[in-house]
Structures are given as C-alpha cells and as structure tokens.
C-alpha cells in the first residue's frame, strides 16, 4: 500500500496539534480512512518510527523548545506537553537527549554555540502581528532542511515563476534539537480555489518577531545564525515552540528576499 507524505499530512497535523494527549486508534481510522494497522505500516515507512514514537518525540522536542525559549517552570512545561508529573517527564527527557531538563535550560547557549559562532549581531527586526492566512501545502521530510530537496519540491509546485499569489515555507522543527533525519518542511501557496493533492491549513494569526534574509535561499543559514546570536543576547525576547514561517517575496527592483517570522510566546 503506497501513500505520500502529503496524503497523510492531515493525520500528521492532528497528531502534532494533540501531541499532549493520547490519540486513539479510532481517531486515526476516522481521519485516515485506513485501518489502524495499515496506517501504522504507512506511517512507519515514511517516518521510520511508530505513531506513538513520533508523538513521544514531539512531546519532548516541544518541551526542549519551551525550556530554552521561555521562562516557564519545568513543572509547567511537563504539564503543557502532557506529562502528569515532573519525575516521569525528567526521566523521558534525559533518555531522549542525554541531559536533564534543568541542565538543558542552564546550557541553552551550548545548543546554539557551534551554529552561531560565525554569525553577527547586525540584524534589523520588528515585532509584528500577522493575520491568519489560508494556504495549500505540500510537505517533505528533508535531512537538515536540505536546500536541493526544498528546491525540488518548489519546482514540482511552481515549474514556472510566480504561478501563485504568495509563497511560504513552513519550518516544523528546530534542527538543533530534532534529529536531522526527522526535519519536516512545508511549501505553502495561496490560491482562490482548492488545489488537488495539496493539504489546506491556516498559518500565522499571532505575533511574531520578523527579520529579513536578502538574496538566495542557499545562504539563509547565515541570517538564522545572526538571529540566534541576537536572540541569545536579548533575554527579554521569548519565543514560542510553534512553526517558523518563511515568506518568499521580491523587492521593487527584483531582488529576492525572505521574510522570516519566529512566533513569540504569548
């Protein structure tokens, strides 16, 4: 039985939106129209992990983001991601990351150390509320957000430039926390009618810190490095663990730019 990432994205989104509670086999069967056994088989073939393993990983990765992005207490974070007590959370967290939640928070600079060492602090940003936008998406798993794989996805969606009114990239995972083989990227476009083979969802609808990358997407890591260096020096700027959104555009003189939106903790 064959199925693509995009075809099961509705169920993946459901799991992701409800990672903090038990998701039943009946729920998955109702949403996927597969038997639970067959869906498990399809899911494992695409993700190389079980549904329960995926959900547990999401819990712990979201907890790690909250530990380094926010000032919530560890017990609050444990509860927010679905653990009933701090002891079971701490045990699972240390098993996953080989460090305790307390140590992870204390060592947050170390998470970014190697990534940001070549960056700079010369970064302009603004705090902005973005209205909710309906988009049509296709998703891929891509090792370390590989540019060649992302480019291939966009060429599939837009063989010619500017077919759609607006284009966005959905960055599901924090690659400094998520195993590089599990990173997920969504190519999203706006359209005035439903697109066959695409997954419909809403993005934005909250407050973000926005900064801009100028030039080719293949050099975008340098801009992310600059942002993280700035963020680590600006302790009052608290981030959220939800998706980072890239908005692709052109200036009046035709220069390609990427507006990058990091969600702010509310």
148 and 62 part of one domain: no
Residue 169 domain boundaries: 125-263
Whether residue 263 contacts residue 240, with contact meaning beta carbons closer than 8 Å, is answered with yes
Shared domain check, 190 and 135: yes
pLDDT tens digits for 188-201? 999 988 888 898 99
Quote the pLDDT of residue 118: 66
pLDDT of residue 101: 97
Classify residue 114: in a domain, yes or no. Answer: no
Whether the Cβ atoms of residue 220 and residue 159 lie closer than 8 Å to each other: no
54 contacts 18 by C-beta, under 8 angstroms: no
Same domain, 159 and 93: no
Confidence bin at 162 (pLDDT 50/70/90): low
DSSP sequence for 116-131? HTT--S---EEEEEE-
Question: Does one domain contain both 37 and 143?
Answer: no
Q: Are residues 19 and 144 in the same domain?
A: no
Place of tokens 């480019």: 151
- pLDDT grade, residue 119 (50/70/90)? low
If asked whether residues 87 and 148 sit together in one domain, one would say no
Residue 4 predicted with pLDDT over 70: no
Nearest Cα residue to 266 out of 225, 212, 226, 209: 209
145 and 72 in one domain? no
Is residue 87 domain-resident? yes
Mean pLDDT over each residue of the chain, to the nearest integer: 90
Residue 86, domain CATH: 1.10.10.60
Please indicate whether residue 203 or residue 232 has the higher confidence score (pLDDT).
Answer: 203
pTM of this prediction? 0.88
Last residue of a domain, one of 37, 72, 106: 106
Domain count, the chain: 2
- C-alpha separations of 117 from 98, 124, 227 in Å: 23, 19, 12
222 and 92 together in one domain: no
Helix (H, G, I), strand (E, B), or coil: what is residue 247? strand
Q: What is the mean pLDDT of residues 153-167?
A: 85
**229 pLDDT above the threshold of 90:** no
- Confidence band (pLDDT; 50, 70, 90) for 1? very low
- Asked if residue 112 is part of any domain, the answer here is no
Q: What pLDDT does residue 72 have?
A: 95
Q: What is the CATH number of the domain that holds 182?
A: 3.20.80.10
Predicted confidence at residue 242, as pLDDT, reads 93
191-197: Cβ within 8 A, 24+ apart: 191/136, 191/164, 191/165, 194/136, 195/136, 197/6, 197/138
The pLDDT of 251-264, averaged and rounded, is 91
Residues 187 and 157 in one domain: yes
In this structure, are 52 and 164 located in the same domain? Answer: no
Whether 265 and 240 have beta carbons less than 8 Å apart is answered as yes
Give the tens place of pLDDT for each residue, 169-187: 999 999 889 988 899 999 9
Same domain for 226 and 148, yes or no, is yes
Asked if pLDDT for residue 2 goes beyond 60, the answer is no
Question: Does residue 118 form part of some domain?
Answer: no
Residue 153 lies in a domain: yes
200 within some domain: yes
In a domain, 113, yes or no: no
Residue pLDDT, tens place only, 82-113: 999 999 999 999 999 999 999 999 998 888 88
Which residues of the chain form beta strands (DSSP E)? 125-130, 133-141, 167-171, 184-189, 199-203, 206-214, 244-250, 256-263
pLDDT category at 114 given cuts 50, 70, 90 is confident
Give the pLDDT confidence score for residue 3 in this predicted structure: 58
Q: 92 and 215: one domain?
A: no
Assigned domain for 157 exists: yes
């Amino acid at each position: 039985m064959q199925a693509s990432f995009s075809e099961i994205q509705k169920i993946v989104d459901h799991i992701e939106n409800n990672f903090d509670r038990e998701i039943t086999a009946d729920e998955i069967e109702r949403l996927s129209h597969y038997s639970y056994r067959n869906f498990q088989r399809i899911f494992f073939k695409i993700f190389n992990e079980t549904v329960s393993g995926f959900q547990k990983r999401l819990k712990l990765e979201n907890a790690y983001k909250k530990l380094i992005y926010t000032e919530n207490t560890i017990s609050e974070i444990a509860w927010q991601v679905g653990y009933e007590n701090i002891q079971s959370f701490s045990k699972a967290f240390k098993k996953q990351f080989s460090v305790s939640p307390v140590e992870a928070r204390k060592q947050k600079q170390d998470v970014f150390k190697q990534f940001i060492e070549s960056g700079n602090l010369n970064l302009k940003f603004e705090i902005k509320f973005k209205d909710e936008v309906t988009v049509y998406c296709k998703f891929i798993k891509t090792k370390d957000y590989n540019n060649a794989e992302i480019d291939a996805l966009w060429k599939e969606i837009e063989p010619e430039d500017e077919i759609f009114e607006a284009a966005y990239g959905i960055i599901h995972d924090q690659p400094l926390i998520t195993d590089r083989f599990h990173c997920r990227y969504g190519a999203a476009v706006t359209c005035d009618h439903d697109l066959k083979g695409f997954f419909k969802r809403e993005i934005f609808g909250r407050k973000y810190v926005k900064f801009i990358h100028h030039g080719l997407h293949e050099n975008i890591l340098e801009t992310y490095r600059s942002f993280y260096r700035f963020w680590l020096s600006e302790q009052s700027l608290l981030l959220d663990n939800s998706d980072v959104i890239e908005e692709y555009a052109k200036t009046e003189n035709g220069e390609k730019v990427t507006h990058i939106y990091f969600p702010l903790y509310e």
